[in-house]
Amino acid sequence: MVATVLGDVIERARRRNFVGRRDELRAFGDALTGRSPRRVLFVHGPGGIGKTTLLLEMFARARAAGRIPALLDGREIDPSPEGFLQAVQQSADDHGMVLLVDSYEHLGAIDGWLRRDFIPVLPANGLVVLAGREPPSAAWRVDLGWRQVVAIQRVDHLDETDSADLLARAGVTEPGLQRLLMLGRGHPLTLTLLADVARGGAVPESLADVPYLISVLLESLLRDAPSEAHMTGLATCARAG
pLDDT tens readout for residues 20-46: 999 999 999 999 999 999 999 999 999
**Alpha-carbon span 72 to 28, nearest angstrom:** 17
| pLDDT at residue 207 in the model | 81
| pLDDT at residue 199 in the model | 82
Percent of the chain with pLDDT over 90: 58
Do both 130 and 200 map to the same domain? no
Domain membership flag for residue 182: yes
pLDDT digits (tens, 9 = 90+) for 104-161: 999 999 999 999 999 999 988 999 999 999 999 999 999 999 999 999 999 999 999 9
Do both 131 and 167 map to the same domain? no
Total structural domains in the chain? 2
Q: Is 8's pLDDT higher than 90?
A: no
Range list of β-strands (E), 89-240: 98-102, 127-132, 150-154
| pLDDT at residue 94 in the model | 64
Last residue of a domain, one of 112, 138, 154: 154
- Class of residue 117 by CB neighbours under 10 A (exposed 0-12, middle 13-18, buried 19+): exposed
Domain membership flag for residue 231: yes
Do both 60 and 76 map to the same domain? yes
Q: β-strands 40-44, 150-154: how paired?
A: parallel
Domain membership flag for residue 228: yes
What CATH number should be reported for the domain holding residue 15?
3.40.50.300
Q: β-strands 127-132, 98-102: how paired?
A: parallel
Do both 26 and 99 map to the same domain? yes
Last residue of a domain, one of 110, 129, 154: 154
Confidence band (pLDDT; 50, 70, 90) for 92?
low
| pLDDT at residue 132 in the model | 95
Do both 18 and 108 map to the same domain? yes
Percent of the chain with pLDDT over 70: 88
| H or E stretch at 60 | helix 51-64
Its domain, for residue 164, covers 160-240
Do both 109 and 37 map to the same domain? yes
| H or E stretch at 70 | strand 69-73
- How far CA 229 is from CA of 16, 17, 105, 225, 226, in Å, comes to 41, 38, 19, 9, 8
Q: Is 216's pLDDT higher than 90?
A: no
